[in-house]
Structure 1
Amino acid sequence: MTIPVRRVRAAERGRRFDLRTTAMFFLLLAVVLCVCAFLARTAAGVVERRPLWAGVLAVLGLAVALRFPSRWRRLSAARCARRAGRALEEAAEKASACLDAGTTATQAAVAPTPPIGAPAEPTGDAAPADPARGAAPLPPAAAPARTPPQQPDDAQPTAAAGSAAGYAGLDPDGFEQAVADLCVRDGCGEVEVVGGAGDLGADIVAVAPDGRRVVIQCKQYGYANKVGSQDMQRFGGTCFAIHEADVAAVVTTSDFTAPALEYARQCGIVCMNGDDLDAWHAGTAPGPWHRTPPGP
């Protein structure tokens, strides 16, 4: 007596766990479940609003199920679940393959560019170099051109020459910063450039090496334009009362008028003209905190 042996399907080769495929499968399964839940909720709403029509549809469905019982056996729940699972898995594999193909195409499109100045690879028309003669030199056009470094557009000239003309070539902010650098060089602490709108006459504040508070106003004037008494009076009205200066000084690239010097002598303001600024920069004269106001 021959006993029929049930054939066992061989396991598919090359199948392995793929995280992306599994994630796509569960994502599509979640979409299907959401659609089913929406349909169930819609059917419940129809039953609640129109119970008569719902009863008629239920009777018709039952009659169809009894009329075709064989087809309902084929459409069993387990079989439908298996078919849906296989369909979802195939869809997930196809989506994963599409993603892999897109990634490969993107990587192939982004090809590395050769560095600038690298010799070009020989083509079919170019003859290879003779090893006995050595490597052929690069043509002049292939060699990278060396250009001197360019200065930024907003670069300002410096006062390295140590002259009033050099300071006059700076912009107002650059001139204030240059004077502040002199204060730092000579040992001042807490040097701060405060010039600008609403500075009330103070462009630089610092603490001298002996601990006194220094307030400096910078006047970047041309040689023919001197600092007048009105400029000195505006500074004198704020340097001591508002900025609480122990040493108040006006530093200019030009000179002072006689009334301005007289007002400075009365208020105790130190005045440094272009020559004094040159000497301070050169280190042959002290800073304003070591100077005395102009005499009579």
Structure 2
Amino acid sequence: MAKPPKRRDPLSILADDPQGRSLGLDLPPGGVVRRSGRRRWGKEPEPLVWVSDEAVGVGALTAHRGPHLAAAGLQAVLLQDRAGLERWWQEREFAPERMSDPDDHHVEPVLRAFWSRVVPDPAEGEEGEEIIAPFGRDWPGLAMTAPSDGPESPDGPESPDGPDGPDGPDVPEDPEVAACALADELIERGWLPAPRLALVPSRRAADVPTALGWGGPTNYEADTALISVVLRSWEDRFGARLVALGFDELHLSVAAPPPTAALALPVAAEHFAFSPDNIWQGCGSIRAYTEEAVIGSGHWSFWWD
């Protein structure tokens, strides 16, 4: 019996068909970026990611983050230049071969290990304690999500009308709708002044950094699979979706952010463990960061110095 033809990698198809019409896509002008390494036996290195030639605008993620893309096994995200590092994705910045498999890790031990790296030394005294208050040096555990019938109030039961008015709590957004809306907002507000559309072969958006071998957090954590493990958990608990990557920054949409301080404080602790520069070089404490960047926020951003 003849073997069925081997299914081609979607990026190999895009190398020959850059607009993706054979995959049911209608992409802007662009092309594949190949893995680093030498040619073998005259063959080009394998393609790693498809990237648009020019910056895309509002509506780009909505237009291309659809069922045809999912059927092809691709995830659409935005890549953003940084001053002095324009088109950094073309400079052999990716190293997927150095990353482990996210399936080999679990979020709780990953975040516990991260937390142990960043908690202040006891010698720092009250100043160090204030950074992580109300938590101590022990890992506080994973944050809980808001109950489906509305957020719990730290001051007692909600009024009969519910926390969001006479109609009760807001229904969480569809995560993909929230992702596309945030992409448009970041472009409109200048957070992403010249983003490129990128297509990455990955089962879920959380795994994109690992599939690329993205090196953004290298000065903190060189194995991006551990970053993906945390992103997977945030996908499941908060409806988070990866929207954009910069050279050393990451933007997530959040469809179901924690609505109260009580629920948001443990999330802020996870953020501190995941990306301590958000607090060390930001608002200075977990309490302040909770108020500024977590409660009800549909946009979580991270960067590593």
TM range (shorter): under 0.3
Higher helix share: 1
Higher strand share: 2
Question: Quick one: higher RCO (CA 8 Å, sep 6+), 1 or 2?
Answer: 2
TM-score with structure 2 length normalisation? 0.21
